């Protein structure tokens, strides 16, 4: 079960600061959307806005990689001027890998950020990039299939 252990465990995405990015030499962040950056199917808030500004200042590219629809991703991305891909089919690495190639992101300086072990972290592991697990935002709004996945995740975490 150690296989699923992320490189970093964070409470919130805002713990990824300018200093943190420099220390860990991160140039590209592939991030999940729902429960990672915003409540499921909701807009990003001021925290996202501030964080995106920090990333832009640090010249770090943020790329949303979501299993939700492209419409959902576009609605989220537009106000912040960031790019994002829906229907990524995580934990399969194929689509995200293609986006990595298109964006010329280097595996050594890339990070996968997400709230789910069995989609986000597993996808990052299969891409051989570093991974950061965040505590889910707005857990009480999550659909039933995700609630069930959380139980499996808890089982895995106990066995790290
Ligand atoms: Mg999520």
Express each pLDDT in 16-66 by its tens digit: 999 999 999 999 999 999 999 999 989 999 999 999 999 999 999 999 999
> Does the pLDDT at position 160 exceed 90?
no
pLDDT at position 91: 97
Q: Among 48-62, 79-93, 145-159, whose mean pLDDT is lowest?
A: 145-159
Distance between Cα 115 and ligand 1 center (Å): 5
**Given the structure tokens 């576009």, which residue do they identify?**
74
> Does the pLDDT at position 89 exceed 90?
yes
Parent domain of 124: 2-158
Number of domains in the chain: 1
User: Of the candidates 138, 112, 141, which has an alpha carbon nearest to the alpha carbon of residue 7?
Assistant: 112
Q: What is the 3-class SS of the chain, one letter each residue?
A: CHHHCCCEEECCHHHCCHHHHHHCCCCEEEECCECCCECCCCCCCHHHHHHHHHHHHCCCEEEEECCCCHHHHHHHHHHHCCEEECCCCCCCCHHHHHHHHHCCCCHHHEEEEECCHHHHHHHHHHCCCEEEEECCCCHHHCCHHHHHHHHHHHHHHHCC
Distance between Cα 84 and ligand 1 center (Å): 14
Distance between Cα 114 and ligand 1 center (Å): 6
Distance between Cα 20 and ligand 1 center (Å): 22
Distance between Cα 106 and ligand 1 center (Å): 23
CATH of the domain at 90: 3.40.50.1000
Q: What is the pLDDT confidence band of residue 143, given thresholds at 50, 70 and 90?
A: confident
Distance between Cα 117 and ligand 1 center (Å): 10
Distance between Cα 18 and ligand 1 center (Å): 23
The structure's pTM equals: 0.94
């Amino acid at each position: 079960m150690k296989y699923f252990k992320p490189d970093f465990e964070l409470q919130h995405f805002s713990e990824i600061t300018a200093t943190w990015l420099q220390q860990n030499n991160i140039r590209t962040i592939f991030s999940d959307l729902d429960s990672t950056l915003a409540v499921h199917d909701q807009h990003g808030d001021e925290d996202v806005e501030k964080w995106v500004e920090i990333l832009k200042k640090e010249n770090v590219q943020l790329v949303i990689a979501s299993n939700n629809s492209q419409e959902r991703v576009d609605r989220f991305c537009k106000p912040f001027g960031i790019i994002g891909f829906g229907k990524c089919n995580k934990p399969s690495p194929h689509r995200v890998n293609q986006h990595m190639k298109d964006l010329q992101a280097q595996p050594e300086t890339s990070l996968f950020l997400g709230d789910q072990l069995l989609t986000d972290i597993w996808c990052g592991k299969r891409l051989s990039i570093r991974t950061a697990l965040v505590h889910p935002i707005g857990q009480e709004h999550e659909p039933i299939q995700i609630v069930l996945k959380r139980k499996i995740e808890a089982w895995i975490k106990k066995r790290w």
